[in-house]
Structure 1
Amino acid sequence: MRTMWRLATLFLVPLAAFGWSSADLIETKQAERLKGRIVRENPKQLVLRTPYGELTLPRTAIKKHTRATYVVELKNGSKLEGQVVGEADGSLALNVGGKPRQVPLADVKSVTEKQPPARPKVLSPQEFFKLHRAVLAHFEKKDYAAALATCEKILQSLPDEATTLYNAACACARRGGKPKALDYLRKAVEAGFLDFVHIEKDPDLESLRGEPAYRELFAKKAEYIERVSKKTIDRLSAELKKKGIATKQYRSLFDRERNFVYFHPKSDEEIAAIRRSLEAYADCQWRDLFQNKPQRPLFIVLLTAADSPKVFRRGVGGMFNPAAMTLFCSDMPAHKLLRMSVVIHEFTHALHHADMGARHQRHPIWLVEGLATLFESSDRNGTVVPRHNHRLAFAQQAAREGRLLSWAALMKLNHVQFMLRAQLAYAQARYMLFYMHEKGLLKRFYDEYTARENYAKDRSAIDSFQVVFGKPIEEVERDWRAWLLEQQVPPVPFLGVQTEDKDGQVVVVKVVPGAPAAKAGIQANDRLVAVAGQPLGSRGDLLEAVATCKVGEDTEVELLRGDKKLTVKARLARRPGTTPRTPHAPPYLGLAVQQQDGAVVIQGGGPRLARAESRPESRRRAPGVRRQEANLRARLPGCAARQEARAEGPCQDQARRRHPHRHRRAGPPARTTVTRLPSR
């Protein structure tokens, strides 16, 4: 504590000598900040003594009053701790524990301000990971005292870090400290550690199984899940609001049966349709592919097309963050034109991640992105059936130009190497699995690969491929290449106008010569009113309307030319090239971009791009990768590519642990998936 004044100077020395940086702080509604000591106050006003004299402030003018806390030492040796609320008639008015107290000045020996506790050092992500790895190392050595001490060091800076609270519970339980272990475990659950299946199986907590407090946690499982889910929604809402999003239009909806939590701006009819679609998709995948459902809530944030740019960087359409089990996405008009779904792409990541976590596995990047891209364009009629999309054109072009990677080479790519070849790698991974699905072998392959004994010796899945097909992978690849070139790229409808949004109207800026719009007589400066009966208010509406039409179909286009309303018919053509360009989008790199080790993280309601700690193994790179990685960073501003890393940190709800049964929530190290929009 720092002495602020002595009784001899309390009321006699000018208050400027008392240290105004620590006095009461008044913030007015006019944005003024005043420091001083309360002399008198009543329900209508207060009198503040400042270095420049006394000020009388109406209560209605005060926005915030931050009171300093003082320790009043009496001459009899006792002490009172509270706030000074005034002085009059030879006494000091205090608020002690919420109760008023009058102390004669003759009884006061000294008054000192109680200094606030020193703020603990805020750990950087690098410092957090270093300490977290130290915790794991201590557990490996069975040095539970050191593990607990390191956990407590983290908690001084991050008191609500759920994983660290859980690890502290494990360390205490191993040391025999049941009460403290149960307290840490309760705090971990309250902070968001909701993997009750893992808690139930973790051998570190064996000594707690019979304790009443342990059983009470499981008895209140549903209550904890709902409470934490509501806190998470509040946090997401606050973060979205900081980004300029009107969150009042967003609502939450809990699907307790499937452990999904929606946060959305949709109407009741729209969200009901989305729920039916996602639930049917999830049920199909749990029956036909994945065995394990999410053990903690999956948060699905459905953004409007207008709000997406406020959350994502330019060209990004969606993101799944496993550490926070949060999926952010918005089906943009360009996606509908391509007949693909970012929601399904990212949702597949979430389902796959839950299955990997329950199996204590980390699947290769080609399989992670291959499954997400496989089902991004699909139909559902009792089962999920992939459909061709624009990625087929990339794969076929690479095949004709001799640029395809061998299957063995693609399957051995690490994360950075895969991303450096994003456009081709995503397309090739999709069509490898598409071929397998068409042969009826996808489920058999996944089961073969994920069997514990096979996964342990075949991380790339090459052996499982060969077992399922019954022949060497080189022979399978030759058959696949021939099949690939026989497939038909689905046509994308094309009207042939360049437009701009102006005063709530879609104005034609340019008509492509020879395009359907030109043949129909559409001209520059025409205002498009409707296409195929769908009213237009933006370029996005135009893309969505065209997406509902078919190539070769005569489509009605309503427009205004001057004061005249015209209706023309345009026979839509096949879009030249492969993909439509999204307005202001960077060159297309492939649908999903993943960065690990904190390179892309989510804090509250949206992603931010950050540089992460470079781990030692990330320095061992293949020839040419360092230069190519620099090019990747140039194409993805702010992204720091990392080879072996995790998108996790103190800003996440939970950090991953490395070992399947010790001090880790079930699941592989996290990857954050960012979905980029295709070019138009």
Structure 2
Amino acid sequence: MKRAATALALAATLAAAPPKVVAEPRPAAEVMAQREEAKDAGQAAIEALKNGDRAEAVRLLREQARLDPANFVPHYNLACVLGAMNELEPAQASLSRAVELGFASHSTLTTDPDLTPLRDTPLYHALIEKWPLVLEARRQAALAATREWMTSKPREHALDDLRLDVLSTLDGHATERALESITAATEWITTSLIPELVNGDATNDPWAEVILLEDDDFHAWLVRTFGPTAGRRGVSYIGGAYEHDRKRLVAQDVGATLRHELFHVLHTRHTERLGQRHPIWIQEGLASLLEDMDPHGAGWVPVPSYRTNIVKRLAGWNRLTPIDEIVALDQRTFVSDKPLRRYAEARGLFMYLLERGLLRWWYETYTTDPEHGYDADQTGLRAITHVTGQNLETFEIAWKDWAENTLPMVAEEIRDVDVWLGLDVNSGTGDGPRVQRVERAVRRESDIRIGDVILAIDGRPTGDLRELARILGTLRAGQNVTISYRRGRLTGDTQATVLDKD
């Protein structure tokens, strides 16, 4: 009874007093500077532990928690360090606070050796026994906190099979497009890559939020999350991001970005079940596959994109990064040193395995095979050579040949395509290109008007200008196509003839 009461009390605390996630009243630059101080304190705590100074590590972790009060990580680390010091009461308090602030990994809770001293405590047993109750309380607390900082009442959809809560301030049609994008992405993931996501036991998986925001709200979130520079329109477009510790995906773009970040949500859920942490090239290479997808049969499939164009060019110049170097890249190098190249090469490798019909086998081998998978080689290279039946040198030659001679180039910008639809468009606000001008002949032939949002061409989604350019590049002059569009709250389809720009 004591154990259940402990978990119930924690759940009640979560539900009754959710941590506030609101815009800070201080200047964003000041807030970001404080977060950097918190990161420095956390890193210094790690160094103190390496030097055997637990007391200093505790001091630094408490300082990190003070500087970044909404972050569960320092509290979790405090629980580990205090447990190692046999200070079990404060260790339990720190673990409880970590759960209140969002810690939700059952796998970490049950397997992390640093928590061993706490595994005979009342709190630990209560958490294990009542974990689903704790997760549901955490979910409701997160939803309440999110509703509080959103500036308008969101449309809400609970996707029970995926344990996803979708909260959207986009209009109804854009929200429906986002839900369609989520469905397409998850169907491909669960049929072509990770069927265990729907076949396995999800009882211990935390719910995640998918938050879809209109322009002003999204801009404000960018500033709060990434600082003032990220919030400057036109500096560097960020369509969304997944905050793993918060189990929160925020997006404005309901196409490529949403699918990319959704993969991170589901992939990390799977790896947490397995107790694995996949390297950055695998995380981003697989997520990038979902950026560009087209309908195929009853579902959607990844297709060549501007990223694979980069790979094709590099192959033609004989400048592809050696595969053993790609798989060894750490996260900092991957995202900061030639990131366009890194993402492109990672996506290209997985497109190659996909086209050879080996991607699902590779992932299964990598995650489960004790001889060729994660336990034997975390880089994933041994799994590649196993499923292809080739040594690294032979595989690399075949991959380069495919990239240079088989991989098609796709259109990247509308201005580079030889045909058009008689429409001038801009990037819109995240749900698709918006029409700025309509040729007179097109006005007579079709129903498209200025201000319409182009949703799809022949059923192929046009979530942004890059997708529109890619699709236009596959059309020929004189071809008749169906344009799906949105006009205010109305949607429709109209016929159009593809025109030669000349």
Alignment map for 1:380-529 (pairs within 5 Å): 385-414=301-330, 415-416=332-333, 419-450=336-367, 455=374, 458-484=377-403, 485-489=405-409, 494-498=420-424, 506-508=435-437, 521=441
Gap change, CA 1:287 and 1:360, over 3 Å in 2: same
SS of residue paired to 2:162: coil
Report the RMSD for the aligned CA atoms in angstroms: 4.5
| Residue 530 (structure 1) shift | 8.9
Q: Give distance in 2, aligned partners of 1:556 and 1:299.
A: 34
Instruction: Note if 1:125 corresponds to 2:41.
Output: no
Deviates more, 1:250-259 or 1:376-385: 376-385
Code of the aligned partner of 2:106: F
- Alpha-carbon deviations, 1:619-651, whole Å to 9, x = none? xxxxxxxxxxxxxxxxxxxxxxxxxxxxxxxxx
Aligned to 2:227: none
| Residue 455 (structure 1) shift | 4.6
Aligned to 2:142: 232
Contact conserved, 1:155 with 1:164, CA < 8 A, in 2? yes
Gap change, CA 1:455 and 1:143, over 3 Å in 2: same
Q: Give distance in 2, aligned partners of 1:372 and 1:122.
A: 27
Q: 2:269 aligns with which of 346, 354, 359?
A: 354
Aligned to 1:283: 190
Q: 1:171 aligns with which of 81, 87, 95?
A: 81
Gap change, CA 1:184 and 1:430, over 3 Å in 2: closer
SS of residue paired to 1:467: helix
Aligned to 2:289: 374
Aligned to 2:101: 191
Q: Give distance in 1, aligned partners of 2:394 and 2:89.
A: 61
| Residue 190 (structure 1) shift | 1.3
Gap change, CA 1:494 and 1:163, over 3 Å in 2: same
| Residue 153 (structure 1) shift | 3.9
Q: Give distance in 2, aligned partners of 1:506 and 1:471.
A: 50
| Residue 354 (structure 1) shift | 3.3
Instruction: Note if 1:554 corresponds to 2:480.
Output: yes
| Residue 158 (structure 1) shift | 4.7
Code of the aligned partner of 1:283: T
Gap change, CA 1:140 and 1:482, over 3 Å in 2: closer
Aligned to 2:163: 259
Gap change, CA 1:475 and 1:178, over 3 Å in 2: closer
Q: Give distance in 2, aligned partners of 1:161 and 1:350.
A: 19
Aligned to 1:344: 259
Contact conserved, 1:196 with 1:295, CA < 8 A, in 2? yes
Q: Give distance in 2, aligned partners of 1:175 and 1:272.
A: 48
Contact conserved, 1:318 with 1:330, CA < 8 A, in 2? yes
| Residue 501 (structure 1) shift | 11
- Alpha-carbon deviations, 1:302-328, whole Å to 9, x = none? 234786556555332222222333222
Q: Give distance in 2, aligned partners of 1:382 and 1:279.
A: 13
| Residue 419 (structure 1) shift | 4.9
Gap change, CA 1:274 and 1:289, over 3 Å in 2: closer
Alignment map for 1:72-111 (pairs within 5 Å): none
Aligned to 1:151: 61
More strand by share: 1
- Alpha-carbon deviations, 1:494-522, whole Å to 9, x = none? 314435799xx95528xxxxxxx5xx845
More helix by share: 2
Gap change, CA 1:496 and 1:296, over 3 Å in 2: same
Gap change, CA 1:188 and 1:323, over 3 Å in 2: closer
Aligned to 2:211: 301
| Residue 264 (structure 1) shift | 1.5
SS of residue paired to 2:95: helix
Q: Give distance in 1, aligned partners of 2:106 and 2:312.
A: 46
Alignment map for 1:538-553 (pairs within 5 Å): 538=451, 541-542=453-454, 544=456, 551-552=475-476, 553=479
Q: Give distance in 2, aligned partners of 1:394 and 1:171.
A: 46
Q: Give distance in 1, aligned partners of 2:149 and 2:394.
A: 52
| Residue 420 (structure 1) shift | 4.4
| Residue 145 (structure 1) shift | 4.6
Q: 1:202 aligns with which of 112, 118, 121?
A: 112
Aligned to 2:10: none
| Residue 371 (structure 1) shift | 0.8
Q: Give distance in 2, aligned partners of 1:343 and 1:536.
A: 27
Gap change, CA 1:261 and 1:465, over 3 Å in 2: same
Question: How many residues matched?
Answer: 415
| Residue 262 (structure 1) shift | 1.7
- Alpha-carbon deviations, 1:406-434, whole Å to 9, x = none? 43444445544665434444333222211
- Alpha-carbon deviations, 1:23-60, whole Å to 9, x = none? xxxxxxxxxxxxxxxxxxxxxxxxxxxxxxxxxxxxxx
TM-score computed with the length of structure 2 as normaliser: 0.66
Q: Give distance in 1, aligned partners of 2:38 and 2:274.
A: 26
Instruction: Note if 1:324 corresponds to 2:246.
Output: yes
- Alpha-carbon deviations, 1:58-94, whole Å to 9, x = none? xxxxxxxxxxxxxxxxxxxxxxxxxxxxxxxxxxxxx
Contact conserved, 1:240 with 1:311, CA < 8 A, in 2? no
Aligned to 2:498: 572
Q: Give distance in 2, aligned partners of 1:501 and 1:296.
A: 35
Contact conserved, 1:411 with 1:461, CA < 8 A, in 2? yes
Q: Give distance in 1, aligned partners of 2:61 and 2:212.
A: 36
Gap change, CA 1:487 and 1:307, over 3 Å in 2: same
Gap change, CA 1:310 and 1:137, over 3 Å in 2: closer
Gap change, CA 1:210 and 1:477, over 3 Å in 2: closer
Contact conserved, 1:500 with 1:508, CA < 8 A, in 2? no
Q: Give distance in 2, aligned partners of 1:405 and 1:225.
A: 43
Q: Give distance in 1, aligned partners of 2:381 and 2:186.
A: 32
Unaligned runs of 5+ in 1: 1-120, 242-246, 336-340, 510-516, 523-527, 558-567, 577-680
Q: Give distance in 2, aligned partners of 1:320 and 1:195.
A: 16
| Residue 191 (structure 1) shift | 1.7
Contact conserved, 1:122 with 1:157, CA < 8 A, in 2? no
Unaligned runs of 5+ in 2: 1-30, 223-232, 412-416, 429-433, 462-470, 484-493
Q: Give distance in 2, aligned partners of 1:141 and 1:209.
A: 26
SS of residue paired to 2:437: strand
- Alpha-carbon deviations, 1:428-451, whole Å to 9, x = none? 322221111222322333344456
| Residue 458 (structure 1) shift | 4.4
| Residue 233 (structure 1) shift | 3.4
Instruction: Note if 1:221 corresponds to 2:131.
Output: yes
Gap change, CA 1:555 and 1:275, over 3 Å in 2: closer
Q: Give distance in 2, aligned partners of 1:544 and 1:425.
A: 30
Code of the aligned partner of 2:239: G
SS of residue paired to 1:124: helix
SS of residue paired to 1:370: helix
Q: Give distance in 1, aligned partners of 2:35 and 2:61.
A: 15
Gap change, CA 1:497 and 1:464, over 3 Å in 2: same
TM-score computed with the length of structure 1 as normaliser: 0.51
Aligned to 2:21: none
